[in-house]
Amino acid sequence: MALVINPFQSGQASGKVGSLVAGRNRTGSYIRQNAKPVQPRTPTQTLVRYDFTRVSDAFLNLSTTRIDMWNDFGDNYTIPNRLGQATTNSGRNWFIALNSRLLRLGVSVQLEPPLSPEPSYLPFVSVAQTAGAGPINFGVGTTATANQAVWIYGTNNLLRTRRFKAGSMRLLTLHQAVTQGINNIIIPAASLSFNDSSVQIETRSVDEFGRATAPLRFTVFPAS
C-alpha cells in the first residue's frame, strides 16, 4: 500500500479507480490494489446478508407511491460521507438501513419512512468494569420501549497502549427494552485480561423506526 500526497491530483480521494482503491487512515492518504473480499461464512455474517437481501426485495415490492415517499425522504436529508462532506442518500438505502436494524430486533418492516431521520431514543449510556476483577457492564439513563434497543460493539483484549479504533470491532450483543439504571454484562470477567490490556466498546441506541444515534466510544482498562 502506497502512502501519497494529493492522490489522483486531488486534495483528498476516496473510492475506486480501475483496479486501485484510494482512501485515508490515521497515517494519511493511501492507494492500494483492489482486493476481492472473501465471502462471509460465519452465522452472524450470513444472517446480515440474509436480512439485507430480504429488505432489498421488500423495497422492490413497494408501491410506486411508497417508493416516491422514500426517495423524497432521501432527497430531504443529508448524511456525512467518508470525507465528512454532506451528501444525500437514496430512498432505497434509507429503507434498507432502517429496516435491517428492525429485522434484527424482530420488528416488522416499516413500509413508509419516518418524519425525520433523527432518532427518538437518546439515552445516557455508561460503560465500566465492575470493581475487583469484575466484568464489563453497561447501563442506560432512560428505559427503552419494546422496540428500542442498545447495540453494543466491542473488541477482544488489545494492547493497553492502543488508542486508535481497532478494526476488529464487532457486534457483541443487542439489549432490547433495556431498563434504566440496570447494569448489564457486556464481557464476562473470564474473557478479560487484567492489568495489561484494554477493550474498546462502541454503543448505538436504536429507536422503534430503526433510526440510530451516532456511536459512543469507550475504552476500558480491566483491572484486578
Per-residue HEC secondary structure of 89-121 comes to CCHHHHHHHHHHHHHHCCCCCCCCCCCCCCCCC
Residues of the chain with pLDDT under 70: 1-19, 24-31, 35-50, 80-84
**Residue 219 β-bridge partners:** 200
For helices 91-104 and 64-76, give the axis angle rounded to 10 degrees: 100
pTM for the complete prediction?
0.74
C-alpha grid cell for residue 19? 483496479
Q: Are residues 208 and 134 in the same domain?
A: yes
| pLDDT number for residue 138 | 92
pLDDT tens per residue, range 39-84: 656 655 666 666 778 888 999 999 999 999 999 999 998 776 666 6
| pLDDT number for residue 32 | 73
Q: Are residues 83 and 140 in the same domain?
A: no
| pLDDT number for residue 46 | 64
Let me know if residue 63 belongs to a domain: yes
pLDDT tens per residue, range 211-223: 999 899 999 999 9
Q: Are residues 87 and 130 in the same domain?
A: no
The torsion angles phi and psi of 210, rounded to 5 degrees, stand at: 85, 5
Contact (Cβ atoms closer than 8 angstroms) between residue 41 and residue 66? no
Range of the domain at 29: 2-33
Contact (Cβ atoms closer than 8 angstroms) between residue 203 and residue 151? yes
Let me know if residue 119 belongs to a domain: no
Let me know if residue 118 belongs to a domain: no
